[in-house]
Amino acid sequence: MNRQFLCVAFYCMLYCACKNTEKQKDADAATATSTPAAISYTVAARHPHDTTSFTEGLLLHKGRLYESTGHADSYASSRSLFGITDTASGKIAAKAEIDKEKYFGEGIVFLNDRIYQLTLATKIGFIYDAATYKKLGEFHFEGEGWGLTTNGAQLIMSNGSSNIVYLDPISFKTVKTLNVTDNNGPVSDINELEIINGFIYANKWLTDYVLKIDTSSGRVLGRLDLSALKAAAKAAYPGAIETNGIAFDPAANKIYVTGKLWTYLYEIKFSH
C-alpha cells in the first residue's frame, strides 16, 4: 500500500465525516425550527372525577392512582391535599392535607420511599413517609412550585416558566436546568409533569395541550390536543376549567389524564 493511496483514503474518510456532521447539523436545525408533531390518541376508558378537585398533580405508584389538589378562594370546596383516587367514584381518600390559608398545594412525587409535595408561592415543599404518609420535614426551593416528577435520581420540577429544574433530593440544589423550546422559541407555563419512556410530558397551563419534551435538548417534539376531552367534561359540568394532570403506569402501560374540576378522568392510548 503506497503513501498516495493512504492519503486519498484519509481524505475520503475526512470528507465523509464532514458530510455526516453537516447532515446531523441540518437535522438538528430542522428539528429546532419545525412545528411539534401532532400526537393522535384514542380514549380507552372514562372514569368519574370529583368536580371539587382542583387538580395539580396526578401519578401512579405501585398500582395506585394518586392526585394532589390546591385550594382556590373562588372554589370554596377545593382543598390542598393529596391522596389515593378511587377510579370507580372519582373521590380522593386524603392522606395528607396542608393549611389552605397558608399554602396552595401543587405537584407531588414518590422517590426513595418518600413523598415530596410542592406549594405554589411560599418556596416551601413538604416531605412525607411514603408508607405512613407521616410528615418528615420541609425543603426549600427558588421560585414557584408547579409540577413534579422524577427520573429515579432527581426531583424534576416546573415553576411556570420555560425552565424545568432538576433538584438533588437530599440537598435540593439545582443539578440541571432544561430550557423548553419549540419552533417559536422558549415555551413558558410548563405545568404538571410525567416521564414516559424517557421523555417528559407536560401540561401547558391554560391550554389543552400536553407537550412531549426531549430531556437532552428541551425541544418540544410533539403535542397532544386534549380539547375534545375538556369539552366533554365541561358539557357534563360547566364549572370544569383547564386541562391538568397526566399519569403513567408502566406496568400496565396505561396513561391517565384529567383537569381541574373535571367530571371525568380519561385513560388514553397513544404512541410514545
Tell me the pLDDT tens digit for each residue of 206-264.
Answer: 999 999 999 999 999 999 999 999 999 999 999 999 999 999 999 999 999 999 999 99
Is residue 1 domain-shared with residue 120, that is, in the same domain? Answer: no
pLDDT of 16 > 90? The answer is no
Write down the pLDDT at residue 2: 52
What pLDDT, on the 0 to 100 scale, is given for residue 270? 94
Report, as an integer, the average pLDDT of 90-99.
98
Least confident of 2-16, 27-41, 250-264: 2-16
Grade residue 6 by pLDDT with cuts at 50, 70 and 90. Answer: very low
What sign has the CA pseudo-torsion 133, 197, 106, 165?
Answer: positive
- CA separation for the pair 147, 125 (Å, rounded): 12
What is the torsional sign of CA 232, 236, 241, 243? Answer: negative
10 and 42 part of one domain: no
pTM of the model: 0.88
Residue 172, pLDDT above cutoff 60: yes
- Whether residues 183 and 150 share a domain: the answer is yes
Per-chain mean pLDDT for the chain: 91
β pairing state of 220-225 and 37-38: parallel
- Same domain, yes or no, for 13 and 110? no
Clarify whether residues 198 and 129 are in a common domain. Answer: yes
Answer yes or no: is pLDDT of 8 > 80: no
The reported pLDDT for the residue numbered 272 is 83
Q: In whole angstroms, give the CA distance from residue 54 to residue 51.
A: 8
pLDDT interval class at 34 (50, 70, 90): confident
- For residue 250, what is its C-alpha cell? 408502566
Give the pLDDT band of residue 25 (cuts 50, 70, 90).
Answer: very low
Number of domains in the chain: 2
CATH of the domain at 108: 2.130.10.10
Per-residue pLDDT, 224 = 98
Q: Are residues 100 and 74 in the same domain?
A: yes
Residues 245 and 123 both lie in one domain:
yes
- In this prediction, residues 67-80 reach a mean pLDDT of 95
Q: Does residue 115 surpass a pLDDT of 70?
A: yes
Confidence (pLDDT) at 32: 59
Grade residue 193 by pLDDT with cuts at 50, 70 and 90.
Answer: very high
147 plus 227 within the same structural domain: yes
Same domain, 20 and 138: no
Return d(Cα 221, Cα 272) in angstroms, integer.
Answer: 11
Q: Are residues 78 and 130 in the same domain?
A: yes
Written as one letter, the residue type at 224 is L
The mean per-residue pLDDT over the stretch 129-145 comes to: 97
Cell 440541571 found at: 176
Q: Are residues 51 and 117 in the same domain?
A: yes
Q: Are residues 144 and 16 in the same domain?
A: no
Domain limits at 9?
A: 1-33
